[in-house]
Every structure is written in C-alpha cells, then in structure tokens.
Structure 1
Amino acid sequence: MRAPYACDPTRTRGRRVPEEESTFRSPFQRDRDRIIHASAFRRLKHKTQVFVEHEGDYFRTRLTHSIEVAQVARTMARALGLDEELTEAVALAHDLGHPPFGHTGEDALQALMAPHGGFDHNAQAIRIVTHLERHYAEFDGLNLSWETLEGIAKHNGPVPEPTPWALAAYCDAHDLELHTHASAEAQVAAIADDVAYNHHDLHDGLRAELFSTDELAELPILDACFAEVDALYPGLNYYRRRHEALRRFFGVLVEDVIGYARAELAALDPQSAGDIRAAGRPIIRFSDPIFADLKVIRDFLFHRMYRAPSVVEMRVEVTRVVRELFPHFMAHPEELPKQWRKDVEEIAGDETQLARIVCDYISGMTDRFALQTHGRVFGGTPIRKGIFA
C-alpha cells in the first residue's frame, strides 16, 4: 500500500516534453525501463567501481554495483510504502555520470574542466539523461519525469552553491528545485548506495587480499556478525564464514535504515511527498550509533583499500591517461568520432564549449576504451595490471 508521503505516479509533475501515457506502465516504470536501455547504462559494465575493470570477473563494476543498489532500494521502498519503480529508477541511474577509472577519473576531469565550468558526476548524469542520449525522434535525452530527474540530481541532498554547470544549465529551463531535499524515494536510493558499497567493498577487498578476515572480525558491527556465525556454525569453511558474516552485516544496515526511517516518519507525520522535501533534513538515513560504527569501517577501508600503496600508484597512472587524452582531443577535435565532430562544427571555435564536448566524450568512455584510445594515440601500454579507486 502506497504511503501518503510517497510519490504518486498518477500525479507526477510530468516530462519536459509532453508524451502520451503508456497503457500498461506507470511514468516511473517507463523511466526505469528507459534507463536500463540507455547506452550509458550498458557502458557501466566496463567502468571501475574500485578495481580496474579487467582485473577479475568477481569484482564489482559500476553496473553490478548499480544493480545491487537497486535491489536494496526496492526492499527499503516496499517496507516504507514508497513507489518502488521511482526508487529503482533513481538507484539504477545514480552512477550514470561516472567517468572511466572511478573517482580517480572524476578528480582528473574536475581539474581539467575547472576553467570551463567544472565536472561533477551527478550533474553529468543529468546531462546524459537530458541531452547526450540521442535515440528518440522528438527529444534529446530520455525525457524522464520530473521526480526521476530530481532524484538523480539531489539524491544526496540539496545541491550547494555554486551549482555544477550541467545542473545549472538544465535547471534554467526545467527547475528541479535544487535547494530542497529530494523525495523519500530518492533518499532511499542514496542510502542504498551507502549500504551496497560498504558491504561489497569489504567483500572485494578480502578477495583482493588487501586485508584479512580476522581484521574484519575486529571491526564494529562485523565483530557481532562473525561471533553469531561462529556460534551457529563452528568450524565453518573460511569462505562460507566470511560470506555469512557479511550477509548479516548487510542485513544490519538495511534493518537499521528501515527502523530509523519509520521512527522519523512517525514523528514527522508527512501527508505528501512535498512534506518530505520540506522537512529540512534527510528522513532516510542510518541511526547515530550505526553511523558512528560505519565511520570506523570507512576509515579502515580508506587506509587499507582506497589508499593502499598499490592503489595510490595506480591512481597516478590512470590520472595520466585522462590528463593526456583531454588536451589531445582539444587540439585535435577532428579525431573525435563522426557524431561528436558534428557538435564541434556547431560551436564556431568556442573553447569552453569544445572542452565540454571533449569532456562528454572522455567521461563516457569505459575503462578499457580509454586505455585502448590512449594506446592508439600515444602508443605503448598506459598502465600495468593493478587496482585503483
């Protein structure tokens, strides 16, 4: 049963370009389906989550991460009486704007684009779904409903000033009310992202042997999870033991968010989705004790995984790939693919607009395509095998 504070697909604020409604699918279902069929969504298969995309079949990529986020988000949305399709749409789209090489690639593009309006992966996701996906006859982008666009833009909270260029450019024509919090559905997608990466980064770090199971068993929350597994299954196989502990950790996080959200919703007693946006604070989040424990776990991951010596070394190498590709295409836009050269022809030598086109092109690359392109342009092998974040 849909709660009164849930977004109602029959009362959506609509699409920027009006369309006839589907007979069988709600507007939010159509949004989800368009995201799944988007080219940018398919490219997430070969984009870094933490580990270099070709390092192993078991490590998460942006695509598998997004699928896991969507699964967690739907579970929470159902428990809280929210619209599951809208929640899933935002969850599936939340990482569409990430460039190759994860946050390392984003840092490199932020520096390169500083003179031209900057780069932000959330804003880039809006640019992708409103402009860069060009498959439909009547509009650029996916023409998603207002609520889905809002969720993509500000699922992490109100967007602070200065507004990233891509968001500001779109909101000038279609206001997403960036100063408010997003719907409960978008907030669920955001916290599901936290749940998913806290869980799977521990799993992937173990598989990469950056830390041991015994070290994990000493961390808060996880200590109780391992103790429960050991009490129930003494002498359990090493791999099954850690899997059982991590799935319990996963469950603790999900149940904590649902429990906290129910208490906050009961206290606030919102009667509309607008009441959630106007609450002035996030309603869907971890409780304070769990949040404090997660900070300890995140600090552990930061030092032992994200900034491990091998990871730091790899960050330097992949940063060089982006930093060398960008000025090359700025100087030689004729080497861009045909559909991109058409955009270049329309800007009449405007350097900032050229930088935006080059940035769009590079940020859309997968890890492997960026490496292949660098090898084709500059020769040699750009990076050694390794991992990076």
Structure 2
Amino acid sequence: MTKIAAEPLAALRARTSAKWQTYPADVLPLFVAEMDFPLAVPVQQAIIERVLASDTGYIAGPEPVAAAFAGFAERSWGWAVDPGDVRTTTDASVAIVECLRQAVPVDGSVIITPPVYPPFYELPPEADASVVEVPLLLTGTGWQLDLPELEKAFARGADALLLCSPHNPLGLIHSADSLRVVAELSAKYGVAVISDEIHAPLAYMPGAFTPYLSVSANAREYGICVTAASKAWNIAGTKCALMVAQSDRTRLQLDSMPEEVAARTSILGLHATKAAYDDGAPWLAGVLESLDANRRLLGELLAAELPEAVYRPPAAGYLAWLDLRGLGWGDDPAAVALEQGRVALESGLKFGRRGAGFARLNFACSPEVLTEAVDRLARVRAGRQAK
C-alpha cells in the first residue's frame, strides 16, 4: 500500500473548484467536502482516453459502470448486486430528488435525521414534499438513530425516510442491527427508505459499513440505494451517480423516471466512476491511510491547543463534527474562525438547529495544513481569552 500525499498549496490554489475559489488566498479552506489529493491514475487515464477519442456525447446506458459497481460492492461489503438493477444520473442530489418523486406523493412528507447534510433540508421540497425532523440521539457511547421516534413518525404517516449512511457530518456508521429495525418499521408502515451511501467506501474499519439493501428482504422491498464514487475518489465534478433497486416495487420506481434522468449522466463521469470501482482500490487504500493519520492528528492537536473543543473521530469519511460551544464563540463559531483565524469551516447552523455552536472541518488535506489551521484557531482562542 502506498500512502497518498496531499498536493502542495501552490498546486491546490491553481484549481478552479469552489473549495479554492470561494475565499482569498490567505484563508485555509476546510469547509466543502473535497479532498486535496491528486486523482487516482486509473481515473485520470479513463477521462483522458475518452477526451482523446472525442467521446464526449451522451451515455449509451449504465452497463459499464453498473458492472463495475456490482464487482466493487461484492468485494467491499459482500453485497450481491445485479448490474441490471443499477441506474445512473448526474449526481446524488438529483438521484435523491427523483427517487422521492417516485416514492412520495405530492404534499407527502420525508423524514431526515439532523444534524445532517444541509441539502437534505432542500431535496424533499424540490420533490413537492415536506420535511419531518427526527434528530439523532447522542448517548454515552456516541450518536445513533432514534428508533422509537422514527417509528412514531412512521406511524403518523411519513412517506419516506432519507437516510444518510454513513452519516454526514458525524462520520457515523449505522449498525446492521439498527438498519434491520429501520427495515422492519419501513415494511410495517409502508415507508420508503432512500439510503444515501456516498461516503461508504471511506469507512476506516473493513467490514464496518453495511449497505442498507443488504440487511433484509424488508429493506430491499421498500429501499433504494443512492451512491457515487464522487466523495471517495474526489470526482464530484464529473457528474455520475448510481441508484440501486432490488425489488419489483423499487425497480418499477426507477424505470418510471423520465428518460432525461439517465441522460443527464456525464459520459466522462461514467467512465471515471467505472475506473474508480474497477481499478481505484489501491489509491483509495492509500488515501484512507492518510485520512486515518489525519483524524488522529486532529484529535491530538485539539487536545493540546483547543481543549474546550469536543471531537469524536469519524468512523467513515474525512469530515469532523466539532462541538465548539465551550469556546464561547456563539451559535456560529465558523464565522469567528473565518473572520479572526482565516480558516474556513462549514457552519454548523447549516446542518439544522442542533448545529448551533458546532462546525464541520474537512481534514482531507496535508498534515501541515491541518496543523496550521488548528494553530490559527488556537491563536483566536488565546486572543479572545486575553481580552
């Protein structure tokens, strides 16, 4: 395994993505979910080959990437996926909206579990549905789904659950047992489950992640998996997401979508995603080694320089959910971090009301950048204490 190193700041600042163009050059951008690593060579080559062949038209179908994902799912999680059950579209958000349009009636309701990825508040209304919040529980052993409250929401007539698995921003991997209970409740009340599993390849412990559709026949009957290679291989801009259905009910939902849903898939994204699933595992292993070191380094830095910050290392992904209420930086500590420390974090307020006093930090960067970011925040803390 070859550890993958982040690119130097000079190279990163030449990128034109939002991460590197949103703020001035004196700001360290640790907000949006984009990594600072170079692309996997197989992914680079796949894109370059299509461009050199002038192959930049519309996709002919999902078959190449469907077979690649099926192989990856079997190797990674022991999940058997028929490539014929895989469809594609442009990105995970579009996939979620289109799945909700099929599974939820107009003026229906969709459950989300805050604190959660900010677009989850916007995607159900885009599908003409309202949002019902069932917050996660924080217990002595960590975060978890509030299964009794979920059942109450199901019984009150919710039409769907939008599940974030692994959960952003917490890096929480839902247990197989809790997912089985969700599936049982889904079948009991006839509630659709759309499981966003975009961060699944970024689990740190092998075997820790369980695909929702793999847990039971109940899960497969009412559930659809939405996923992509975009987070794990850093290719969000190539625009290809997958939807997986494994029952007659959910296959019909995917097949009932307008043809344009699939046609929006980028041919470059399709081939980049295929390369990631087929040949990107060594690169991913090297990136995970770097990320694992960074999530531990972050804990050490915070303990030494910002002891008031509460940090639980994520089980998956490269996003840290920081409880900064102990610093006295108000409801939006990310605003203080940016204004006084020149560090861009994602505001916890975007993740729901329970995000007040919190911020999300992206540690998919070099150890040097991460160290400098925490040093800057510590200087803000020291300056405020001196006052």
TM-score by length of 1: 0.30
Q: Could you say which structure has the higher helix fraction?
A: 1
